[in-house]
Structure 1
Amino acid sequence: MPENDDLMLLIGAAHASADIARKFWKQSPETWDKDAGAGPVTEADLAIDKMLHADLRAARPDYGWLSEETEDDTARLKHDHVFIIDPIDGTRAFIEGSKTFAHSLAVAYKGQVTAAVVFLPMLDKLYVATSNMPASLNGRPIAPSQPKPEQTPTVLATKCNFNPDRWKNGTPPYERHIRASLAYRLCLVAEGRFDAMLTLRPTWEWDVAAGALIAQKAGAIVTDKTGTKPVFNTPQAQLNGIFAAGPVLHKAIRSELA
């Protein structure tokens, strides 16, 4: 099946990305600040993006291309298949020497992700999924948590998402945690290490495309902040926020959001 072939291609590309990242990690890579407060980018991000663009497009010349580190080209909208890539998700963590940065690679077909890889090379964690197979971590099946009603849910989210005005009845008593990479946050929910992840701001597709499929195929519910299922390769390349959790908790969170 094409999605299985795409998965093998993405796995190889993720390992090639890691080979480049290791050369720059903790080596004080050259760093720049993007325009409009879009965050930092390093020479490692750009080197990985250049390699992925060359290798993946050579392997699938009929696929479109959407990447954080490549100037967007609306020609991608004419393709049924498109690569959605974040060469390094969690660039700030990478710069700081943290092990929690990730390579996030996905293929979408007519708006739905069909193959996904999130690789954290310094933690040796390879998350994968396709539209026709369950999600796994290093070859082992994964599933989201099912917290009991008396338990306090653990939620991966930045502090601003817990502002009282974002909730119908003030901030709920959730236990907040954070990881720099959105892709990793989705995967941590997929494997049940945290109960939910949430971001209410507009969210770039390349940050979450791969992680969204992995969480979905693990058994979590993944939607934007309004409860709508995400669609990818849109003209704006953004989602209206994103959050993921097991079915019961997802419904509870959605009912509490303002």
Structure 2
Amino acid sequence: MTRSAPDPHDLMPELREIAREAGGIAMRFFRSGLSTSARIWSKAGGSPVTEADVAVDTFLKVRLSGLLPEAGWLSEETADDPRRLDRRHVWIVDPIDGTRAYLSGSHDWSVAIALLEENRPVLGFVYAPAHETVFEAEAGRGAFRNRERIAVSRATSLEGISVAGPKPFVDRLERRVPSIKRPPRIPSLALRISRVAEGSVDAGLVSTDARDWDIAAADLILHEAGGALTTLAGAVPRYNQPEPSHGELAAAPQRLHQDLLAAITGR
């Protein structure tokens, strides 16, 4: 007998528990306002990784693979397995998004988990344990922060909006919209986009070379909250590609998105 395709909705209760347990593992090594107690080393390219990243990644690989054994796997801290390219479902995981923030004791890091179906996210979790905040979404069922429904900002123009992102990118926008405001830096890309989803930040910008694991979960959360994450040409991100990286991206409420892209690009 052929096994029927899983309904992602049925996975949500257990996935909530898995996400919280993963965050709990990370918190064992986290010290608010102080350097982490975790061992640290450098990956190829010089970016830092800690024993907490590896511990959370290992835990999630075991638990999520058990939850949906036929799904492929793509994670920042696991060697890529090209078999994921042929799978209908793929888990996309960043065990600690915002590692440098985590290392320094900043609270703005997160555990990001997405489930893709036919290369689009259908489940998304962004858990910020130090803030005790969970963002989650299911395709077609809305977005939530700590189980309460969220929606993007009600801003109707770019004048005076708050924009989070890397300084050079925000500078480009400010030259065309001088009235924009800059909130405090949000190192975790997943958390940055999720804050656009909840409306605490009006728009978010993402530099070139974000990876699937940085954005896939938050992309769904933003979409379900009434926003959009696209390239500067207006295309939605393509996930589960052989090279899972992206160019510059912009996140904003749907009603502002085209104006934001036009202001950035000058078109």
Same fold judged by TM-score > 0.5? yes
Q: Structure 2 residue aligned with 1:240, among 220, 223, 247?
A: 247
Change (3 A) 1:193 1:59: same
Q: Which residue of 2 aligns with 1:184?
A: 191
Deviation at 1:7, TM superposition (A): 2.6
Alpha-carbon separation, structure 1, partners of 2:158 and 2:12: 39
Runs (5+) with no aligned partner, structure 2: 1-5
Corresponding residue pairs, total: 254
Pairing 1:20–2:25 present? yes
CA contact (8 A) 1:200 1:225 kept: no
Q: Which residue of 1 aligns with 2:43?
A: 34
Conserved? CA contact 2:115–2:124, under 8 Å: yes
Aligned-pair distance for 1:142?
0.5
Q: CA contact under 8 A between 1:205 and 1:238: conserved in structure 2?
A: yes
Instruction: Tell me, yes or no, if the aligned pair for 2:123 and 2:137 is still in contact at 8 Å.
Output: yes
Output the CA distance in 1 between the equivalents of 2:29 and 2:240: 30
- 1:149 and 1:132 map into 2 onto residues whose CA distance is 27
Paired position in structure 2 for 1:206? 213
Aligned position for 2:201: 194
Q: Is the 8 A contact 1:162 1:171 kept in 2?
A: no
Determine if the alignment matches structure 1 residue 4 to structure 2 residue 13: no
In structure 1, give the amino acid aligned to 2:55. Answer: A
> What is the match of residue 101 of structure 2?
93
Q: CA deviation at 1:150?
A: 7.7
Alpha-carbon shift at residue 32 of structure 1 (Å): 1.3
Q: Which of these residues, 111, 127, 136, is aligned with residue 119 of structure 1?
A: 127
What's the TM-score, normalizing by structure 2? 0.90
Query: In the alignment, is the contact (CA less than 8 A) between 1:6 and 1:115 conserved in 2?
Result: no
Kindly report which structure 2 residues correspond to 1:150-229, keeping only aligned pairs within 5 A, or say none. Answer: 151-164=159-172, 170-173=175-178, 174-177=180-183, 178-229=185-236
- 2:158/2:259 contact within 8 Å kept: no
Mean Cα deviation higher: 100-109 or 22-31: 22-31
Contact 2:142 2:224 in 1 (8 A): yes
Aligned mate of 1:65, from 45, 48, 73 = 73
Query: RMSD value over aligned CA atoms?
Result: 1.7
Deviation at 1:171, TM superposition (A): 4.8
Provide TM-score, normalisation by structure 1.
0.93
Are 2:59 and 1:51 equivalent residues in the alignment? yes
Report how far residue 215 of structure 1 moved: 0.5
SS at match of 2:45: helix
Aligned partner letter, 2:56: I
In structure 2, do the counterparts of structure 1 residues 203 and 150 end up closer, same or farther at CA, with 3 Å as the change threshold? Answer: closer
**Partner residue of 2:85 out of 51, 54, 77:** 77
State the one-letter code of the partner of 2:111. Answer: H
CA deviation after TM superposition for structure 1 residue 241, in Å: 2.6
Give unpaired runs (5+ residues) of structure 1. none
User: How many angstroms apart in 2 are the aligned matches of 1:122 and 1:200?
Assistant: 25
Identity in percent:
34
| In 2, Cα distance between equivalents of 1:145 and 1:196 | 9
One-letter code aligned to 1:133: R
1:256 and 2:252 matched: no
Quick one: distance in 1 between partners of 2:248 and 2:88?
Answer: 24
